[in-house]
Amino acid sequence: MTPTWIVLGAGSGMARPLLRRFAAQGAQLYLLGRRPEALEDIAEDCRLRGARAVTCLAFDARETAPYAALVERLAAEEGELNAISFTGSMPEQAAIDADPDLIAGVIADNFTGPAIFLQRLVPVLEARGRGTVVAISSVAGDRGRLGNYVYGAAKSAFSTWASGLRNRAARKGVHVMTVKPGPVDTPMTYGMKLPFMTSPEAVAQAIETGIARRRNVIYVAPIWRVIMTVIAHIPEAVFKKMSF
């Protein structure tokens, strides 16, 4: 039987090429987003491309109360269950500096929302002894930077959580992969001047290859692994004088 994929943040610009690939493989898809009715055009595209079935469901990273019932419904699905989280938001750091109350939403969108949902779902996969969880994180989580340190802090937490979950779930046959795409050409980054920008298609290809090879952590653009390794080792006394 072809696998089932549960996709959090399915309306993300990064998600669409990967959804097309899953659909072409005949997968069953659950598309989760804040406004499920807005996902219907994506769902129809996936049906036309060969998806076994496509269902759109409501998911809000900032409203965790419905998660238990949602996971219970998904757990009723037989066969191999897999999940991937594209949820996230990245307001400008200046906006957060002006209104620190925005921090709670950034943390929920990028960390606590998907982590709480997946924390409920993963025991279902572990009980079946198989399945894959893909956590879309960011190179911004590798070190706090002047321009986006709240977003970076949320992604850092998500990466650390995924690392711990990977150690736990691997003992029961479940693969957890962390993805650090670097800047991707999507509506979230529209108008920004960012180096080494990659495409949603490249992200989809990297994720598909990473799953097949059971990679633990992947940088979609390999140059970012080098860059962030260097940046992570810059002494604080020097780093705090840099504009990066």
DSSP letters for 82-136 = EEEE-------HHHHHH-TTHHHHHHIIIIIHHHHHHHHHHHHHHHHT--EEEEE
Closest CA to 139 of 7, 231, 11, 209: 231
Cβ atoms 174, 125 nearer than 8 A: yes
The Cα 36–Cα 10 span in angstroms is 9
Cβ atoms 98, 78 nearer than 8 A: no
What is the pTM (predicted TM-score) of this model? 0.93
Band (220; pLDDT cuts 50, 70, 90):
very high
Close Cβ partners of 70 (under 8 Å, ≥ 6 residues apart)? 57, 59, 117
Kindly report the number of other CB atoms within 10 A of residue 21's CB atom: 16
- For the chain, the structural domain boundaries read 4-240
pLDDT in tens, 3-17: 999 999 999 999 999
Tokens standing for 14? 């990064």
- The pLDDT of residue 28 is above 90: yes
Judging by beta carbons within 10 Å of its beta carbon (0-12, 13-18, 19+), is residue 128 exposed, middle or buried? middle
Cβ atoms 11, 42 nearer than 8 A: yes
Query: How confident is the model at residue 165, as a pLDDT?
Result: 98
pLDDT in tens, 172-201: 999 999 999 998 888 777 777 777 889 999
- The pLDDT of residue 48 is above 80: yes
Torsion of CA 218, 133, 35, 67, to 10 degrees: -140
- What fold does the segment set 4-240 form as a domain? Rossmann fold (3.40.50)
- Which region among 50-59, 151-160, 177-186 has the lowest average model confidence (pLDDT)? 177-186
Percent of the chain's residues with pLDDT above 70 = 99
- The pLDDT of residue 244 is above 80: no
What Å distances lie between residue 38 and 11, 62, 158, 193, CA to CA? Answer: 8, 18, 26, 29
Helix or strand or coil: residue 166? Answer: helix
